[in-house]
Amino acid sequence: MSENFGDWEYDKTCRTEFGEVGYHEVLVMSGAENGGLNYGENRLYNNPFDTDTESELVEGSEYGSSDDPDEFQPDDIQENLHNGVEGNNAGVAENNAGVAENNAGVAENNAGVAENMDYDDGVPHEMEFEPVIPGAQMTRDQAILILAAYSLRHHMTSVAMQDLLSFLKLLQPGALPSTKFLFDKELDKIENSRYIFCCLKCGARVPDGSTHCVVDECRHEFNKKESLCKGNFCIYIPIVQQLKDFFENHEYTTFPKNDKKETDYLSHVCNSDYYLKQLREGKISQDDFTLIFNVDGVPLFSASKASMTPIQCALLEVKNTRSHVFMCGMWFRAEKPNIDVLLEPFVDKCCTLSETGVQWTNSLGVQVVTKVHPFVCTSDAVARPVLRNCQQFNGYFGCDWCLQRGRYVPKEGGNVMCYPYQTDVVRRVKEGYEQDALRAVREGNLVNGVKGPSLLSLLPTFDIVESFVPDYMHSVLLGVIQFLVNLWLDSKSGGKAYHIDHDDLAKVNRRLLKIKAPSGIARAPRSLEERKHWKATEWRNFLLYYSIPVLTGVLPRPHIQHLFLLSNSINLLLQDKIPRDSLVNIDLALCKFVIGMEDLYGEENCTFNVHQLTHLVGSVRNYGPISNVSAFMFESNNGRLKKMVSGTHHIPSQIAGKFILWRNLPVMAKKCQIQQARITVLNLYEHLLTTKRKVRISVHINDGSVALGRPKTRDLDAGELLALDTLFGVIDVRIHKVDFYKKVLFDGIVYQSSSYCAGYKRDNSVVLTNNGTYGRITEMVVVEVCICGNELCECDPQPECIVFLKELTVRSSRLFTDRQVGITKSRFPATVTETNRTIAFRLSDVHRKCVLMRIVPSLYAAPIIKTEEGD
């Protein structure tokens, strides 16, 4: 079973007669950024062969010790390959004799191993397997799996793969496929992708086997070779087989479903309004799954207009769903895709999945049928109207969720479409859209911005209005906040109250670059002068954590308070639990922000992205926190797809083939029993699947924490003893043992002491506890404490991890309150003051890490948000 806790992942798969002592821990982390520790994931591997694997992994080479005499070494290969044909043949014969003798020894050894094999519950501790070559540590199938993972990890071209296979053939002829063609035949690929061609003249779909365009007005001759060369086609990858392989071969956990009842909190899609409505109406059942999908263009080359447009989807009920993204189709061409041709096979298969489901076999060998329903589509404001077959945002009725009529406003010598705030705006509904689409086809004109029907209207559980969401990554991060920053720094804004001149910009940059973000934040702060290169995550960090403190004293007070409305609202909508009764005030705050845009910046700056803020809360009611339905996971997968391109020819085929292989690696791993392989083989396979590298770890504590590094021992001082007395509620607690650590891992999060963080660019020492106390970690101790009060104590106390904090007291600030929209107290960020008071907490009582920002004369602490969005 695999559990994901933020940056860390635990694989728990082994049970022995000794409980969980069969686990062997490997702590892996991402590159040591800036000389500091930026932890990635932690895997606990089961080793069925060795009993002392941890020391081997820590003290040996990257993949373990190489002292095994049976391990295959290239130096064992016969050296004299150029001594003539006769000498070579003689050497081969002699070598074959040696191999036969060696094989006899191996067989005898295997017999002895089988005779002396220990069993536990009928399962052997040592497995017999046929090595790919005598003395090797892996089977032939495992070797092919390793090669496939190696080719994906290093983005190998076909030529590079062929060269590698030729080299391996020289080392050991016949052991592995000798050509790329034979290697591909060995791979257990899922159902092949399918090409769907379009007419070069009119763009209509050309049916399979047809020689001419089927449109009567066109009838252009179809040439398959020409269409392939010009890229006038799309590739469809069967979603049914991908889902079947996922259910059968991937370990996953799902969010709990609550029997059609509303809860006080919105935390995931399973307790959202739209999901519960579908359950109550019987359109979906408790055992069904739902899909979120994305369609968006991705440029591949900076020197070309060519781009790919993939259809990607993921299961909403699955935790850590960003690790399980499916690709159903892809268009590659310089021109925009024919959206109907791209969507048709996807819609067809989704209707089948919704009606009949996908049949798969569970771990007990039982046939299961699971229905999967298309539920949500997240796309940017450019792709969304194409999918809905509607007018874009620069049209009069460009909003996807309401019928507010935009208006053109003069700006910088031209006109821009603006959407100033309006009350009593009529919302769009599915029935109204369908009527407008039919009327638009009948009259040949736009009706309320609708051009005609969309293929997505055919999806059974998909609402053509409500199932589209205003993706906050594009609308807020790459939209509103980026637009505001550019507006503040624009030289054309000179003379306006909100303009930031060169001197103030230098001040803001100095403040930004002094911030030491914790490792839970993907990217360290960068100068605003580099904002053109900022990623969406950097804009998220700026909006949520840095913007208010670094801009205080630079922007006028009304503009700071206006920005606070947006920052605070997005913070609240990203929480893992959102109280339903708080949504009204959040909606009021966002509406007030939209109104303030016109008052502070002018009507011409009330863009469509600003208008989308009025629909964010409705999306949260329907589908939970905005991180549930953001495009982050799909944008992240786009980066993987781009790396699969290793040449300029047949790009769609390259991406489709490598994506299918990547998705099918778990299937291959299961068939070749990679989890039962030797630990060195398993470690190599896991290494090829991740960019993390290994470091040493230390002690696992009973409370679930992991103490990292070597402990130090000293006596507790008076302040620490008093803090322990307060924590345990006992005067003079009896301490049996105490060890001090600088780094501790708990629930997938790394905490470090302030003294350790002083020399690094990351600060993991500032925390917020469950009772609302802010503090800075001074020490972390693993203690065995007895509170029985018996002087003749013979207790055997269990160790637990305690953190000592220097408290940061929160002081109120009128700048961060707005009673008009219900904000009477905010911690985004909190204004704090340092104290010398030492307090003690159990590590399990720490709620979140914080960003500490010292902006003279104030000190701010902003709790970081834990999401699965990724970078």
pLDDT range class, residue 238, cuts 50, 70, 90: confident
Amino acid at residue number 308: M
pLDDT range class, residue 690, cuts 50, 70, 90: confident
User: How far is Cα of residue 439 from the mean position of the Cα atoms in its chain?
Assistant: 42
* pLDDT over 50 at 851, yes or no: yes
pLDDT range class, residue 26, cuts 50, 70, 90: very low
pLDDT of residue 8: 37
As a whole number of angstroms, the distance between CA 571 and CA 694 comes to 34
As a whole number of angstroms, the distance between CA 230 and CA 234 comes to 12
pLDDT digits (tens, 9 = 90+) for 155-200: 888 899 999 999 999 998 999 999 988 998 888 554 567 888 888 7
687 Rama sector, left if φ>0, alpha if ψ -120 to 50, beta otherwise: alpha
Q: Are the C-beta atoms of residues 489 and 554 closer than 8 Å to each other? A: no
665 Cβ neighbours under 8 A, 6+ residues apart: 145, 148, 149, 152, 689
Nearest-10 crossing angle of helices 273-280, 616-623:
40
Looking at the chain, the whole-number percentage of residues with pLDDT higher than 70 is 81
Neighbours of 151 (CB within 10 A): 21
Q: Is the dihedral of CA 656, 659, 665, 671 positive or negative?
A: negative
What does the buried/exposed string (b/e) look like for 153-187 if buried means 16 or more CB atoms within 10 Å of the residue's CB?
eeebebeebbebbeebeeeeeeebbbebeebeebb
C-alpha atoms less than 13 angstroms from C-alpha of 330 in its C-beta half-sphere: 26
Q: Helices (H), strands (E): how many in the chain?
A: 25, 33
pLDDT of residue 542: 96
- On the question of a cis peptide bond just before residue 666, with omega within 30 degrees of 0, the verdict is no
Amino acid at residue number 401: W
At residue 725, φ and ψ (nearest 5 deg) are -60, -40
pLDDT range class, residue 346, cuts 50, 70, 90: very high
Mean residue pLDDT across the chain: 81
Which tokens belong to 362?
């569970």
Looking at the chain, the whole-number percentage of residues with pLDDT higher than 90 is 45
pLDDT of residue 793: 62
SS (H, E, C) 197-210: EECCCCCCEECCCC
What average pLDDT does the segment 20-38 reach?
32
Amino acid at residue number 217: E
As a whole number of angstroms, the distance between CA 330 and CA 309 comes to 5
As a whole number of angstroms, the distance between CA 423 and CA 413 comes to 30
Q: Are the C-beta atoms of residues 219 and 213 closer than 8 Å to each other? A: yes
* pLDDT over 70 at 39, yes or no: no
Neighbours of 753 (CB within 10 A): 21
Amino acid at residue number 774: Y
* pLDDT over 70 at 118, yes or no: no
pLDDT digits (tens, 9 = 90+) for 759-794: 888 999 999 999 999 999 999 998 887 766 565 566
What average pLDDT does the segment 255-275 reach?
83
As a whole number of angstroms, the distance between CA 73 and CA 66 comes to 9
* pLDDT over 70 at 587, yes or no: yes
pLDDT of residue 42: 33
* pLDDT over 70 at 750, yes or no: yes
What does the buried/exposed string (b/e) look like for 684-702 if buried means 16 or more CB atoms within 10 Å of the residue's CB?
bbbbbeeebebeebbbbbe
* pLDDT over 60 at 54, yes or no: no
Q: Give the C-alpha distances (Å, rounded to integers) separating 790 from 725, 731, 734, 787.
A: 16, 13, 9, 8
As a whole number of angstroms, the distance between CA 485 and CA 530 comes to 12
As a whole number of angstroms, the distance between CA 860 and CA 833 comes to 8
Neighbours of 389 (CB within 10 A): 20
pLDDT digits (tens, 9 = 90+) for 438-486: 999 999 999 999 999 999 999 999 999 999 999 999 999 999 999 999 9
Q: Are the C-beta atoms of residues 595 and 601 closer than 8 Å to each other? A: no
pLDDT of residue 792: 58
Nearest-10 crossing angle of helices 239-249, 651-671:
30
What is the DSSP code (8-state) at residue 193?
P
Q: Are the C-beta atoms of residues 663 and 239 closer than 8 Å to each other? A: no
Q: Are the C-beta atoms of residues 380 and 635 closer than 8 Å to each other? A: no
What is 675-692 written as a DSSP string?
Answer: GGS-HHHHHHHHHHT-S-
pLDDT of residue 591: 96
